[in-house]
Amino acid sequence: MLTKKRLFFLVTLVGCFLFGAYYWKIHHTGAFFWRSEEGELTAEDLDFTVNVGEYLVTREEVEWEYKLYMAQIAEPEAGSFAESKPLEGEKPTAMPDSAAKDQKPILELYNKILADLIERKLLYQFLSNDEKFTLREPSRYTVCLQDWADATKRLASLVKSEKDREHLKSMLCEKAILTQYVNDRLNAPITVGDDEARAYYNAHKADFFEPTRVVVRQIVLGDEDEAKKIRARVNSQNFARLAEEVSIAPEAKKGGILGPFAKGDMPSVFDIAFEMQPGSIQGILKSTYGFHILMLEKKLPRVDLSFEAAKPKITKELTQKRQEEEYKKWVESALNTIPIKSSRAF
């Protein structure tokens, strides 16, 4: 299952992959990694090789991972293999394997997959030299090998040969090991003490507050004519009862009560509540959910947060910032240790 902690590290890792590719291009050529102009990929764009230390990245390998990525959208189950996609959260257009042969690659997606592959090989080679990281520990491969076994069944048409199956295993396990390394060696030692958190709070007090919030009741109906009839009958005394009787919204059984919530936390149809007075009723308001009638129950003013109330948010912000800094240092060390050479400038 995809836990919140695991998702955080996966998202952080993928984001930093893109940073590393960008940094590598600036460091070695002084130019941006991705082309800024729009257009289709040409034969020249696809004609390249990249040496990442001892590993040779070829056009064929990038094309294979591109096809693999595009094929995943056809899978109905978002299992652990889906968590290891090159671009977490993207939704590529599905295409059959036969059609993919004639489909020209999407430039931005192709280059991101190339960047991911280069950085993966760079960092995997670099961490292999860290004697404090038990790379050969069998338990590190338990999850990725299970993912690999599942993926070879689901994507049987794409991983027909032994070479393809080994490529898939390598990709999944390298990503899993990188995530573990970030967790164990970079993030685990990071802590934020009370003194540091309090100092940050004192320097940024204006940033820590609970914004103005409202509590409302709503009646939602699917038919406008019916909504008009209810609007003519409803008042502050019978609103909760009518919400229970006629509203189609999930909170109807609670008298239509919603909140407290801040402006922007809910769909824009609720923004009008921040201009209302307690007990007043607005509607009919149309949205994709139906026709709304709103009554403001109460408005909660902005409240400045104490240090204790703000501490969890401060700790999270400082920890994430430190993790990003440590990751960037790690990428830079890898770039300065392992040479990257390309047959052409991207």
How crowded is residue 304: how many other Cβ atoms within 10 Å of its Cβ? 11
Q: Is 194 exposed, middle or buried (0-12, 13-18, 19+ CB in 10 A)?
A: exposed
Cβ contact 179:9 at 8 Å: yes
Token pair listed for 62: 């990038």
Question: For every one of its 346 residues, what pLDDT tens digit does the chain have, with 9 covering 90 and above?
Answer: 444 444 444 445 444 544 454 444 434 433 334 444 445 555 455 667 899 999 999 888 998 999 888 887 655 443 333 333 433 333 443 333 444 444 566 888 888 899 999 999 999 999 999 999 988 899 999 999 999 999 999 888 888 899 999 999 999 999 999 999 999 999 999 999 999 999 999 999 999 999 999 999 999 999 999 999 999 999 999 999 999 999 999 999 999 999 999 999 999 999 999 999 999 999 899 999 999 999 999 999 999 999 999 999 999 999 999 999 999 999 999 999 999 998 765 5
Domains along the sequence of the chain with CATH:
4-191+318-342 (no CATH), 209-304 (3.10.50.40)
Question: Does the global pTM surpass 0.85?
Answer: no
Rounded Cα–Cα distance for residues 147 and 174 (Å):
12
Cβ contact 72:82 at 8 Å: yes
First to last CA, the chain: 37
Rounded Cα–Cα distance for residues 193 and 185 (Å):
19
ω into 284 cis (within 30 of 0): yes
CA-based nearest residue to 346, from 44, 61, 113: 44
ω into 278 cis (within 30 of 0): no
Cβ contact 61:117 at 8 Å: yes
Token pair listed for 111: 């280059």
